[in-house]
Chain A
Amino acid sequence: MKKSFYPSLALDGIKKNKRMYFPYILTFIGIIAMFYIISFLQFSASVKLLPSGETVALIMKFGSLVISIFAVIFLFYTNSFLIKSRKKEFGLYNILGMNKRDIGKILFYETLFVYLISVGLGLFLGIVISKLAELGMVNIMGGKVDYNFYISPDSCVFAIVIFGIISLLIFVNCLRQIKFSTAVSLLKSENHGEKPPKANWVFGILGVLVLAVAYYLAVLVKNPISALSMFFIAVILVIIGTCLVLISTSVLICKILQKNKRYYYKKNHFISVSSMSYRMKRNGAGLASICVLATMVLVMISTTSCLYFGKEDSINSRYPRDINIDFIYNDISGLDDDITKNINKTILDISKENNIKPNNVSIGKSVFISGILNKNKVDVNPTLGKVMNTSVMNNLCTFYFIPISDYNNLTQKNEKLNKGEVIISAIRKDFSGNSLCFGNTVFNVVKTVDDFKIKGQMSVNTNPIIMVFVNDFKELDNIAKLKSKNGDNAAGFRLEYGFDVNINKEQQIDFAKNFEKSYGNRIFDCGKEKIDSIFVEGREVNRADFYGTYGGFFYLGIILSTVFIFAAVLIIYYKQISEGYEDKDRFNIMQKVGMTKKEIKKNVNSQLLTVFFLPLVFSLLHLIFAFPMIRKMLLLFSLNDTSLFLITTFISFAAFALLYAIVYKKTSNSYLKIVSNIK
């Protein structure tokens, strides 16, 4: 036998099955290109030069890991379609005298060719786009653009090796399938008689329940930290629930409809209801994966774009002034007026020496303490056992004591309080008592308000926050004396000193970065040894971090979404094609018993439409229920803008739905082409 026999047979196989192979290779190319781009950004020198290059590189490293894992799962999945459609051909080869070793050789060459084509074109595509991606990224981060074009050898090697391994795994899997089947079973594998789907009440109802639990968790979660851990539980439940509902519950619903004879034996319902249950059983898994992919894309895009577009807001709420100096005292007396006056004077002096005119000076005093709120009693010294308990953890709050004068200044109000009276503003927590007890100290709650916006250091706090406005800090003496387990003060004492300046960006960064080194001693001196530590932060200094992190996430979100959309489209395409071949005979029969082509087409269309938009409807439902949970998680990134998140979510969904509809139109054409060859 000639040496080139198997390779040419393999090449022929690919060419003859181009309807199946073309999209497969295309996806392979797409995933490799995406992998290269992400990996390229990870190693890119211009990205490293960005102020937050390290963060970005880390995010991209994470991204390339996600893509590799996804590639394994997804390529295996699509390959199973391929091998299914080829089994008949291999069975024929087997009967014509080829042994399984020879078939293995054909498979080897096929896998090799697919790999070579994909890696070649994928890397080429990746290299071409990578510069564009880099420019886009640097632009998003507000860095300096560098127009030198280069190829990252590391990324190329990674791509070649990783996808080589994946191809090898796929090849081994194909061999396994061929090895364990006989020639006759290979030949017949295409037309297995199909059993009617049985309605499984247990799984059907379980699906609804699991989904309900997931939604319940998502909606009820209060605190951002538990939102983060709950999120993964909810995601897993949603995935399981979606699969069960789409596979079992949908069949169950069809069966219930079939039981209703009046409804079922109607021209419009008869065929669609019965074939729907088949379709759902066959496609449940595919539809569920489309739905999960769609939800992932939507969550990723809406969240990361919200972070990205909301970054200025985050920066402004995190850093209320250009320069923010934080003082932490070791004792409540540090917050005394004379020390505050001293500090104010020293900072103004230092500013003058630097030719800076401070504007909008803001001085905020606060005493904060964390504890577990039980009705109206606060336990500031919880035992370890209690801390580990999640339901107790949900009641862990941070209490900020603020002078009522600050509240009046910020809200333009004129509230007056007597000794022992407080006004309360609870954030991410319900509070409805008329007293609040810290050990022996009892405050009388006069009223609760909700117009106080948290800013600065408080906005980093992800716990539920309870603002307690008091008349005078002298009333806090007992609280200040409370000790935690290790003997430290349970409470913290903070002065936030902020001001806007009239100098440019570079000077601001310079001033903030060198402040502690140059003037630390002078500041500590005027604090009468009450100052524990100071932190100097500024919008300009920290902006780059925000841009780096949020921009990096946004970018990764876009890239991963593209890959996932690719995947969803491919699943849809294969689904349509394989269904087309299966439905062909059925339509032939229907025509013979007296349906017009028009009726058949109408019927098909309505079924396709239902099956097609089911995942979209479900992902919308998931998104709606995930909304409150994600909103809470965004608080971790000091983003508290619900309307922005609502807008980005809505736009993401609208764009995705549009894209989905276009894909539907295109793929349903290929379906109709197969089916409409009715005699």
Chain B
Amino acid sequence: MLEVKELKKVYSTRLGGNKVEALKNVNFTVEDGEYIAIMGESGSGKTTLLNIIAALDKCTSGKVIINNKDISELKEKDLAEFRRNNLGFVFQEFNLLDTFTVEDNIYLPLVLAGKSYNEMHERLMPIAVKLGIADLLKKYPYEISGGQKQRAAVARAIITNPELILADEPTGALDSKATDELLKIFKEINKTGQTILMVTHSVKAASTASRVLFIKDGEVFHSLYRADNTNEQFYEKINNTLTLLATGGKE
């Protein structure tokens, strides 16, 4: 469903003096219902990659195809609609608007899509119960904990029934208990057939995924499939790969 082809992104300073190659040549595909983690060191280009897939940033060359649509060819106006209908976002910093209650934050993409209140409410209730935030709906983001905020953000991401959920370091600002809860939730929604693409630093988070891609110096360096491994075994494998990456060895 997602195809990234020969993606390249070059940042140049304003006067065009220095050029920084954030992504050199990235290729991978994601199938329906996959749960993919992307790992790499700081500055390896993970977030740039996510931003380009989310159409928040433009690539220098290459293609991003989601459901047979090349998003680099979409216009600004269509892009927003495309994001709304096909993508759900979960961020490290939650990105909930402090001007809205939790409920209104979750409704935001639906309101933008012009849905009626009754429909929104109907869609929200099962999700809220599943994510354990049904009691928090009337509260404001500043009144709830980080883990609760992140669950609210997940609810906002999945309420539109998106094709693909993009998560940028979703556990980055959470304590270990909240991290476990969130990963469990990710796993569960993945089981219902939801495709997830997650960028992360955390081996623990990555070890819940069905596949892990490693990025180094703007390229996909390696990928690991979970196959029949348990979480612990997969954790071990990821760790080994990271060590390899860090020491600079080749396969």
Contact = CB atoms under 8 A, between A and B. Distances in A.
* A is bound by B: yes
Interface of A: 193-196, 261-262, 265-267, 270, 274-275, 277-278, 586, 588-599, 679
B98 A265 contact: no
Given A195-B140, A265-B107, A592 B95 contact: yes
A596 B76 CA distance: 7
A592 B57 CA distance: 11
A439 B231 CA distance: 110
B112 A262 contact: no
A677 to B, nearest CB: 13
B76 A598 contact: yes
Contact of B81 (A267, A270, A586, A594): A594
A383 B100 CA distance: 65
Q: Which 3 A-B pairs have the closest CB atoms?
A: A594-B84, A596-B80, A589-B95
Contact of B120 (A265, A592, A593): A265
Interface in B91-115: 91, 95-101, 104, 107-109, 111-114
Contacts of A261: 117
A597 B109 CA distance: 15
Contact of A267 (B54, B56, B114, B156): B114
B107 A594 contact: no
Nearest to A275: B99
A196 B84 contact: no
Nearest to B104: A274
Interface in B75-95: 76-77, 79-81, 83-84, 89, 91, 95
B28 interface: no
Contacts of A265: 107, 111, 116-117, 120
A598 B77 contact: yes
Interface residues of B, number: 34
A270 B108 contact: yes
A679 B95 CA distance: 14
Given A265-B107, A265-B120, A275-B99, A593 B112 contact: yes
A192 to B, nearest CB: 10
5 contacts: A265-B111, A274-B100, A589-B95, A590-B108, A594-B84
B224 to A, nearest CB: 29
B225 interface: no
A278 B99 contact: yes
A262 B166 CA distance: 31
B99 A196 contact: yes
A590 B56 CA distance: 12
B142 interface: yes
Contacts of A193: 98, 142
Given A262-B117, A589-B97, A594 B142 contact: no
Contacts of A274: 97, 99-100, 104
In this complex, the member of A195, A588, A594, A596 whose beta carbon has the largest number of chain B beta carbons within 10 angstroms is A594
A594 B140 contact: no
Contacts of B83: 592-594
B215 to A, nearest CB: 20
Contacts of A596: 76-77, 79-80
Contacts of A588: 95
B111 A267 contact: yes
A599 B77 CA distance: 9
B13 to A, nearest CB: 16
In this complex, the member of A593, A595, A597 whose beta carbon has the largest number of chain B beta carbons within 10 angstroms is A593
Contacts of B84: 593-594
Given A193-B142, A596-B76, A267 B98 contact: no
Nearest to A265: B117
Contacts of A594: 80-81, 83-84, 109, 112-113
Contacts of B108: 270, 590, 593
A267 B156 CA distance: 16
B142 A267 contact: no
A263 to B, nearest CB: 10
Contacts of B140: 195-196
B87 to A, nearest CB: 8
Given A267-B111, A267-B114, A593-B156, A196 B98 contact: yes
Given A274-B104, A592-B54, A194 B80 contact: no
